[in-house]
Amino acid sequence: MEDMFIKILTVLLELLLGTSTWWRIIFRLLYIFGLYGVFRKCGVKPWKAFIPFVREYEIAVCADHEMEGRTIAVLSVLSTIISLITDGIGYDFPTAVTLLLGSLAVAIIIVSIIYDIRIMLGLCEVFQRRKRWLWVWILLDPVAAVLWGWNDKFQPSMKVEDLREDALKIVKGTTGHTEMGEGLSVNLTERTVTEFFHKRYLLRDISMNIKPGHMVLLLGGSGAGKTTFLNAVNGYEKAKAKVLLNGKDVYSDYKKMQYQIGFVPQQNLMRGKDTISHTVDDAALLRLPTNVNPQDRKTREGEVLDIFGLGASKDNHVEKLSGGQLRRLSIAMEFISNPSLFILDEPDSGLDGVMARELMTQLRKIADQGKIVIVITHTPDRVIDLFDDVIVLAKDSHRTGRLAFFGSIDEARSFFGRDSMEKIVMSINSKDAGGEGRADEFIRKYAEVCNG
């Protein structure tokens, strides 16, 4: 019975620790014991040191290299799967399959070594140790882990929570604008998701008041959180925020407020075989309150078709429309409810300069009716004279969407020292994306302006 217990324990340890000999088991136990202490010092839950794949990710988090940790964790899973296929099954694979699996295993090893070096160098930086410690971690990781985890001389300069909050604090206190009785008031504290066992901030500390009758440009590089921000404002994806439209809370009274907000996505969501009239009628049935009588609904449909120049072609099928007509129809479908806030995600996508200008001019007319119009466009400079204000979102060094600026077009040019909106985006884009990498600088600068 005792021999069987030892055998079972050995198998369990081999599965848990990914090893096949006792001395390696002892080394892995020492390594885990050391990581337990490192995690404790860095503010990570120590028990995660016992979980395969998770511990690889968490040591990267301690080193402030979270993205590398995600890659290492995934590669570790793949490596384990390959080992189970090749060693555990005991099946003789064809030569081609064996070569493929072997090549994949080698590639995983090479990439893992590169990322491990990055992580260990990051850990040396966090613990303020010389880079030569990298070789101790590579050659004798159990010794390094135990020393760093349990010797009081080895202390991290910052804990994980400090590393995560460091970039977040640069605009702390910019939320809390005075709420307006009219217009749009946004006080967004945070919008988060859970990824790889941790809460990740998508957006943080965004506050502004937009007056009725203003047409607003929403700028930001890829991944800055523009669509996430719009979804939070219109209530589609709720954030930790308070959003008021003309004094009414969008979140707490969403069923009523959804009729006051129009959102036009980038994609055209229409059936090609339907006519324009039928398409708008379907939209009216969905977008207008149920207590609107049929005659009033038809009257409103006719008004909207005329506003967007579609009245004369209302019997045409959707599949026969030009790109400009399709965009106008998609906008008409949302405008049918006569919303106070109108949000459009790249309405000019795929249109030439003339059609784009015509479409944006129509949106300007809608704003002049006392509506708030917020637009994302990737070619802002050709229609910038039609906008009143600009919101600039930037992705900070910790990949969180932040408010880098909100104000008039002329104020934006002065604030960023750029004469075009496209140059403003380039200044806040990361260097990896071909930009200047100055996002944190402008986020801090705008925070100082807001905080006086």
Per-residue model confidence as pLDDT tens digits over 304-343 = 888 878 777 777 787 777 777 787 888 888 888 888 999 9
Please tell me whether residues 225 and 136 are part of one structural domain. no
Does 257 map to a domain? yes
Quick one: pLDDT at residue 72? 85
The larger pLDDT score, comparing residue 415 to residue 141, is at: 415
Locate 202 and state its tokens: 């998508």
Among 127-131, 193-197, 208-212, 352-356, the minimum mean pLDDT is found in 193-197
DSSP H or E segment with residue 219: strand 215-220
pLDDT bracket for residue 351 (50, 70, 90):
confident
Number of domains in the chain: 2
Full residue range of the structural domain in which residue 288 is found: 168-451
Quick one: pLDDT at residue 397? 79
Taking each helix axis from N to C terminus, what angle separates 294-307 and 323-335, rounded to the nearest 10 degrees? Answer: 140
Quick one: pLDDT at residue 67? 81
Domain boundary among 157, 188, 209: 157
Per-residue model confidence as pLDDT tens digits over 97-117 = 777 877 888 888 888 888 888
Please tell me whether residues 147 and 200 are part of one structural domain. no
Please tell me whether residues 130 and 277 are part of one structural domain. no
pLDDT bracket for residue 235 (50, 70, 90):
confident
Please give the average per-residue pLDDT across 364-373, as a whole number.
Answer: 93
Does 405 map to a domain? yes
Task: Tokens 């967004």: give the residue.
Answer: 188
DSSP H or E segment with residue 195: strand 184-195
Res 13 pLDDT > 70? no
Domain boundary among 133, 157, 181: 157
Quick one: pLDDT at residue 87? 63
pLDDT bracket for residue 427 (50, 70, 90):
very high
Res 14 pLDDT > 60? no
pLDDT bracket for residue 289 (50, 70, 90):
confident
Please give the average per-residue pLDDT across 362-369, as a whole number.
Answer: 91
Contact at 8 Å (CB) between 85 and 101? yes
Please tell me whether residues 85 and 173 are part of one structural domain. no
Share of the chain above pLDDT 70, in %: 86
Domain boundary among 157, 179, 195: 157
Surface-to-core class of residue 292, CB atoms within 10 Å of its CB (0-12 exposed, 13-18 middle, 19+ buried) = middle
Among 195-199, 344-348, 362-366, the minimum mean pLDDT is found in 195-199
SS3 74: helix
Please tell me whether residues 101 and 224 are part of one structural domain. no
Please give the average per-residue pLDDT across 282-293, as a whole number.
Answer: 78
Does 328 map to a domain? yes
Q: 416 vs 399, 409, 427, CA distance in Å?
A: 21, 11, 8
Does 394 map to a domain? yes
Quick one: pLDDT at residue 293? 82
Please tell me whether residues 138 and 176 are part of one structural domain. no
Q: What mean pLDDT, rounded, does the chain reach?
A: 82
Please give the average per-residue pLDDT across 280-284, as a whole number.
Answer: 77
pLDDT bracket for residue 297 (50, 70, 90):
confident
Does 407 map to a domain? yes
Does 122 map to a domain? yes
Per-residue model confidence as pLDDT tens digits over 152-197 = 889 988 777 665 554 444 444 445 555 666 889 999 998 888 766 6
Please give the average per-residue pLDDT across 401-427, as a whole number.
Answer: 94
Please tell me whether residues 120 and 250 are part of one structural domain. no
Q: 419 vs 385, 409, 413, 422, 423, CA distance in Å?
A: 13, 10, 6, 9, 7
Please tell me whether residues 141 and 183 are part of one structural domain. no
Res 407 pLDDT > 80? yes
Please tell me whether residues 17 and 151 are part of one structural domain. yes
Please tell me whether residues 96 and 60 are part of one structural domain. yes
Please give the average per-residue pLDDT across 201-205, as a whole number.
Answer: 89
Please tell me whether residues 275 and 346 are part of one structural domain. yes
Please tell me whether residues 144 and 174 are part of one structural domain. no
Which CATH number do you get for residue 215?
3.40.50.300
Does 381 map to a domain? yes
Does 163 map to a domain? no
The larger pLDDT score, comparing residue 166 to residue 419, is at: 419
Q: 160 vs 147, 153, 379, CA distance in Å?
A: 19, 19, 40
Locate 44 and state its tokens: 């990570």
Quick one: pLDDT at residue 179? 63
